[in-house]
Structures are given as C-alpha cells and as structure tokens.
Structure 1
Amino acid sequence: MAQDPVIIAGAGPGGLVAALALHRVGRAVRLLERAPEVRAVGAGLTLQVNAMRMLDAIGLREPVAAAGEALGMGTIATASGAVLSTMPLEGVRDRYGTTGVAIHRGALARVLAEALPPGVLRCSSQVEGWEADDQGVRVRLEDGTELRGQALIGADGIHSRVRAGLLGEVPLRYAGYTCWRGVAPVARPLGEGVMSERWGRGRRFGIVPVDAHQTYWFCTENAPPDGRDGDDPHAELRERFADFAAPVDELVEATPAEAILRNDIVDIEPLPRWSEGRVALLGDAAHAMTPNMGQGACQAIEDAVVLAHCLSAHASVAAALADYEARRKPRARRFVTRSWTFGRAGQWENAVARALRDTLTRLTPRSTLARTMDGVWGVEVPSLPGPG
C-alpha cells in the first residue's frame, strides 16, 4: 500500500527544505504552494553557517553556495562609513566546514525547487482547513480538493492559515520601524564577500553582495505603521538617508523604482505550542522574527532538517512532532527575543544611548564576537538516514 504523504503547506525556504529532507529519509511528501509557481517574495537574504551546515545534510550546500556569494567579512559602521566593528570570516570554513552565503531569494528558490523530485510540488493550492485523527490528516483546499496525509506541516509564513486553525488568530507585533529593500545591479561595492550595516539616528542601511553582479540592500527608519511611499521612492530615500555615505545613494539609484519593496517590520511573540497530534508549524508560521540577526530563513531551515530527523526516528507521527517541537522551540525562541532586542538598539535615536552603543560595539573583542557566533553557528546537525 502506498504511504500517505507528509503534507507541507508553503513552498518558502523552510517548506522546500522540509520536502527535500523528508524525501531524503524516505518519507512520501506533498508540498503545497498557494501561488501559481514557486517564486521569491523579497530581495536577498543571508544563509549563515548554521543554515549552510543544515543544507549540507541534504546534499545542497554546494549548489546553493554556487548560486550566491560566500561571505568573507562583516562590518558595523556609522552612517558616515566609519567602521565600529569588523569580523573577518576567513577562519569560519576551517572551524565549521563552510562559510555563510548571501543569495538572491529568487536564486535560492530556483535551486531548491529544481532539486525536488517530480510530483512533489503542487501549486495554486491554498489550505482551507483540515481534520486529524489517529489514522492521519484530511486536508481541504480552497478549490474543494481533499488530500489525505500522515501529517500536516504549516510552513505557510507569518500569516499562516495552519497556525490560525491550530491556535486561533495570533496578532503581529510591530517593531516600530519600517524597511525598504532592493537588489541593485552593482558589483560588490565594498569588496568581494564584504557585507556591512551602517547605523544612524533611528535609521540603518545594510549592504550585502548576493553574487558577482548584484548587491542586496535594505534600510530601516523609525515610523508609525502602515506608511506609504509617494510616486518617487528614489527621491524619498535620498532625502531620508542623505547623511549616509557612499555607496548608499548609488545602490538606491541603481534599483528600479518598481523593484524597491517596503514592509513594516513585525514578528509574533513566542507561541505556547507549535504542534498538536499530527499537525505542526515550521519557520515563520512558528516563530516569525525580526530580521536583525539574519536568522529567519536559517531557523526555518534548521526546523526542516530537525523535522525530517524526528520523523525518521519515531514510529509515531505525533511523538515525532512533539519531539521536533521540544528540540526546536527553545532555540528559535531565543532568536526571536534577541532579534527584537538587537533591532531596538539599532534604531535608537537618543544621542547618549547611541554613543554608548557605538562605543561598546567598537570595544568588543573579536574573541567575544567569535564565542557569540559559535552559539549561533555551532548547532548540532542531526543525522538523516537514507530510506530503508
């Protein structure tokens, strides 16, 4: 008898990696995506060492790295470009077996989607509801289709329908600042593999090369929620970030106006639970966090690999999902809290507070930074046994 699949709602990075990892351990899987095709929403992202190590467990570290930019240096600077802190990343490969990678979201989606086995992905498929019992889960789609599975994994993002069905409506928490993002056709403005974040008064600007020809940038500003741009985002950003040194202006100007994205920064407060019986949450559906540590996609990828490990290690699906939640929830919760805290400090407007922050950043030894990052990057990578 054919095995009922694990049904995954949402083909973002977490859902795609979960499907690939589950296939690797021999589980039948069906990946549902509400859009007509797998597509990137956003601009760029960083896959830090912990995420790349997880991708290595499913054999995709090298193709993902080839599609992005290996990160060799990270800096924190003032708006004028004066460097406060530098973290060389040359020794990271020796310690962890890989570097971090910056990548365009579209490139990541393409690499992961192309690795899926035929028949796994079903697009134009929005989950409307489900019923679960001891035998499995029956999932209803908006078009009336019903699918039978052994489990339902909600990887359907911060506005997760699966989470709403499991826990009710969960309010989003506005962080107090908005963000613009774009990808400019500008090659490595600070050097190969060099990324930087610059801090101003209630504003930040980030610069991240995503390949040899393009640079991802983002900028934040304290603002009321639900703001809207005018007809000329270039002019507005020039005015808002006029005191930020080059290459800020060049990156913004080189980005087509229609490709500049604006979103308020939000997260969700830690949830009381991620799973119930045969249904569990993954990625932003479980632990949406602000982007200040660059760990949103990374934690979703960790979720995905740990989920596959747990489902391969337990005969009971419910026991596997409970184990997955127990393993992942404390770590993800820490990143939600830290990302929120780091973001608030980065957005300070008070001159005294900013001077103290900048001084502490400048005086923090690299050895302290390395120990801190070891707690982020040195996560245990679970084994993924092959089918059989």
Structure 2
Amino acid sequence: MPGRHAVVVGAGIGGLTAAVALHRRGWHVTVCESAAEPSVTGAGIGLAPNALRALHTVGVDVTRVTGGAVPAAMGVRRSDGRWLTRIRTADLTARYGMPPIAVPRPSLAAALAAALPTAALRYGTAVTAVDDAEGRPVLRTRAGPDLPAEMVVAADGIHSPLRRAYFPAHPGPRYLGETAWRALVGAPDLGIEAMSETWGRGERFGVTPLSDGRFYLYATAVVPAGTRSADPRAELRRRFGSWHEPIPALLDRVDRLAPADVLRHDLYELAAPLPRLHHGRIAWLGDAAHAMAPNLGQGGCQAVEDAVVLAHLLPAGDRGDGSDGVPAALAAYTAARLDRTDAVRVRARRVGRLGALGHPLAVAARDLAVRATPNRLALRGLDDLFDGFRLPDRPVG
C-alpha cells in the first residue's frame, strides 16, 4: 500500500477520531479492535464546544448524523429539586459560538467509522505486542498476520496494555471511590428541557437530553470498589427513588430496560501523568494517556482533541515532502497535549470530590458556595475548557 501507514489500537471515540483525521491527512490507516463487533449498547457522550470545534477541523459535523437538539439550560440541583446553579444554553452559545451537545455514543462511533474505508476496520483483532517501536513498528495480533507501520496510535483504554509495556514504572489507574450507573431511555412525554446533575450526600444523579430526543441517565455513589447488586434497576430505585422529579419518573423508564442495559462501572483515573505521551513511534491518547473522572464531561472531549492534534502534527501521508518527520511530530504532540490533559484530569478529580461529599455540614457549605457563585463567574471558569482547543504549529523540518 503506497504512502504512510498508521495502526490505531482501539476503536473507541478517540481511536476512531484519530483514524479519520489521519485518513484525511493522506495516511493509510488500520484500526485494530479486540471486540468482535461495534458496540450497539452504551450510553451518551457529551461534546463540549472544544470537541465540536476539533471535529469540525477534520470535516466531521456531528449534528448531521446524530441530531442537533440541545437543552434549554443546564445546571446543578439539590436532591429536593432546588437549583444551585443554572445557565441558559443561549448564554453558552453566545460565549463559545456553539452549545455543548450530548449524543448517543454508538451513533457517534458509527458516524466516525462510516468516514473510513471499510477495509480499515478490523474487529476481533487484539494487538498483543508492538515490536521495534523505535524504528519501523510491527504489531503482533492474535487474529492473523503481523502489521508493519510507520507509527502506532495507542487508544486501547484505561487499562492500556501498551502503556503498561512501555511505561512499566507508571502506577496505572486508581479507584476514585465511586461507582457509576448509566442508561439510555426514551421519555418524550416528560417535557424535560434542562440538563441537570443533582447532588446529594455521597450520591449524584444526572439527566442529559440527547441530540436524538432520548435521555442519557447517569448516577454515582460512594461505595467500595467491586460492590455489586443483583439488579441495578432496583438499586437505583432504592438510592434515588425519593429524589425530586423527574428522577422517579425516569426510573420508571429504567425499570422497563433489561438489567444488561443498565451499565455499571467503578470509576478510575490515572494515578499520575505519564512522563510523555509517546515512546519511539507510539503515541497514546484518550483514556490510555490520561484517564480522568467523568465530572467535567471532558474525557471524550480531550480524546478527540488528542486525535486531531496528533494527526495535524504528523507529516502528510503521501510522502510528498520526502522526509520522515514522525519522531519530531510525536515529540511536538507530547509538548502540545501533556500539560493541558493533566490539568483537566486534576480539575475533574477535584470537582468529583465536591459532588461526593457526604457529611451534612460539608454538603451544606458546598451547596451554599455553589449558590453564591454568579453565573458570569461560572461561565468564566469554563473558558479554559470550552475555548481551549488550539492547533499547534507543525514542527519544522
């Protein structure tokens, strides 16, 4: 195959975005995904203006394939329903040029996959090792022949085997002290117009209208790692059934789902930043590089930013300039992304600690502080997230 060849390990949102961005830079791309087929279950993913802007730079208009409906407002509530803070979506649009949206994760993944040549996607292909990462990498897989490449994108998730192989001294993921439930439901009759997260004592419940008219529900609770119940629907009802409307009405919809349609995962983040986001000709992105708590809705957004910046910095795939340029591009990628992603990771953890407070006095002080913060200051606090995406200069030579 003529031109430069990149192998992307992992077909999540970050990996697929990287594949699309590289494909549009002229690279021949192969995506290796260990799962046998694309996931059709899952939950929603929030796309803030920074991620939408990044996707737009590589020609992906999310609203064309997933719908463009947005909530009228978003904010934080108490378990009795009182709003602690509420910001109009129109104010976010005026400040950032576009509103944040939330989309079904499977729909976004399908749209990204559709932008690639069919032969680029190899499901049921687990990468077991990458040999000679300093020179011309060769990927070993369980499914078939070895894959030579000029560079590798490690988008293989929070428990990234490639990260463990090349950064063996890194402490890896650590448990954040909370577990999370997620589900998608239809509830057009409830007239829910706002995106909200309700904070209780060591528990939270989020209601996010999706661009296709459904609702993405998520909940968290402070519990020991590995805690499980026989029926997640019953546990959600026990924990949140007495909270304000529309939570009980939404739990009625959850009760109609199969137990397997309510996803439950313990929450982890990387315990420390990686020393760099590349090694030889391998670049890490998304959860493999900087897994973070979901409290800012920026995990997927930062993966999208990673992917677009990485492809932008790499040389064009047609070899038209006659140079290599890959090592310099990967060093520039680390320089462009390491500090930003780690700052978001740390901030997400701190916000999560506020939401997870359980002592009544601490909860009362938290709620009072949130209520006392003017919306203009709350909006200003989002600037570095929502307005922080930039394409860096490409390395010279």
Place the TM-score, normalised by the shorter chain, in its bin: over 0.9
Partner of 1:146: 146
Partner of 2:6: 6
Measured at CA, do residues 64 and 140 of structure 1 come closer, stay the same or move farther in structure 2, by a change above 3 Å? farther
SS in 2 for 1:180: strand
Partner of 2:312: 309
Pair 1:35-2:35 in alignment: yes
Choose from 325, 341, 349 the match for 2:334: 325
Give the partner amino acid of 1:246.
Answer: E
Shift of 1:226: 0.2
Pair 1:370-2:379 in alignment: yes
Partner of 1:281: 284
Contact 1:188 1:215 in 2 (8 A): no
Partner of 1:130: 130
Shift of 1:381: 3.4
Partner of 1:260: 262
Measured at CA, do residues 233 and 89 of structure 1 come closer, stay the same or move farther in structure 2, by a change above 3 Å? same
> Structure 1 residues 87-96 or 373-382, which shifts more?
87-96
Structure 1 gaps of 5+ residues are none
Choose from 314, 332, 348 the match for 1:339: 348
SS in 2 for 1:312: coil
Shift of 1:2: 1.4
Measure the CA separation in 2 of the matches of 1:258 and 1:249.
Answer: 20
Pair 1:245-2:248 in alignment: no
Partner of 1:174: 175
Measure the CA separation in 1 of the matches of 2:116 and 2:30.
Answer: 10
Partner of 1:18: 18
Measured at CA, do residues 62 and 178 of structure 1 come closer, stay the same or move farther in structure 2, by a change above 3 Å? closer
Shift of 1:101: 1.1
Segments of 4+ moved more than 6 angstroms? none
Per-residue Cα deviation, 1:300-352 (whole angstroms, up to 9, x for no partner): 00000000111038842111111101100101001111111111110101111
> Structure 1 residues 8-17 or 68-77, which shifts more?
68-77
> Structure 1 residues 300-309 or 312-321, which shifts more?
312-321
Measure the CA separation in 1 of the matches of 2:365 and 2:215.
Answer: 31
Aligned length: 383
Measured at CA, do residues 35 and 362 of structure 1 come closer, stay the same or move farther in structure 2, by a change above 3 Å? same
Measured at CA, do residues 332 and 23 of structure 1 come closer, stay the same or move farther in structure 2, by a change above 3 Å? same
Measured at CA, do residues 351 and 34 of structure 1 come closer, stay the same or move farther in structure 2, by a change above 3 Å? same
Measure the CA separation in 2 of the matches of 1:40 and 1:132.
Answer: 36
Measure the CA separation in 1 of the matches of 2:102 and 2:175.
Answer: 26
Structure 2 gaps of 5+ residues are 317-322
Shift of 1:64: 5.4
Measure the CA separation in 2 of the matches of 1:71 and 1:5.
Answer: 41
Contact 1:137 1:152 in 2 (8 A): yes
SS in 2 for 1:254: helix
Partner of 2:101: 101
Give the partner amino acid of 1:360.
Answer: A
Q: Identity of aligned pairs, percent? A: 38
Measure the CA separation in 1 of the matches of 2:107 and 2:133.
Answer: 39
Per-residue Cα deviation, 1:23-46 (whole angstroms, up to 9, x for no partner): 111122111111122225631121
- State the Cα RMSD in Å: 2.1
Shift of 1:242: 3.4
Measured at CA, do residues 133 and 167 of structure 1 come closer, stay the same or move farther in structure 2, by a change above 3 Å? closer
Measure the CA separation in 2 of the matches of 1:133 and 1:353.
Answer: 50
Measured at CA, do residues 45 and 68 of structure 1 come closer, stay the same or move farther in structure 2, by a change above 3 Å? farther
Partner of 2:391: 382
Measured at CA, do residues 65 and 357 of structure 1 come closer, stay the same or move farther in structure 2, by a change above 3 Å? farther
Give the partner amino acid of 1:346.
Answer: G
> Structure 1 residues 38-47 or 244-253, which shifts more?
38-47
Give the partner amino acid of 1:97.
Answer: G
Contact 1:188 1:209 in 2 (8 A): no
Per-residue Cα deviation, 1:199-231 (whole angstroms, up to 9, x for no partner): 11111100001135311111111111101112x
Measure the CA separation in 2 of the matches of 1:332 and 1:64.
Answer: 28
Contact 1:188 1:214 in 2 (8 A): no
SS in 2 for 1:228: coil
Partner of 1:187: 188
Measure the CA separation in 1 of the matches of 2:290 and 2:64.
Answer: 24
Partner of 2:319: none
Give the partner amino acid of 1:3.
Answer: G
Measured at CA, do residues 40 and 215 of structure 1 come closer, stay the same or move farther in structure 2, by a change above 3 Å? same
TM-score normalised by structure 2 residue count: 0.91
TM-score normalised by structure 1 residue count: 0.93
Contact 2:66 2:104 in 1 (8 A): no
Measure the CA separation in 2 of the matches of 1:65 and 1:72.
Answer: 21
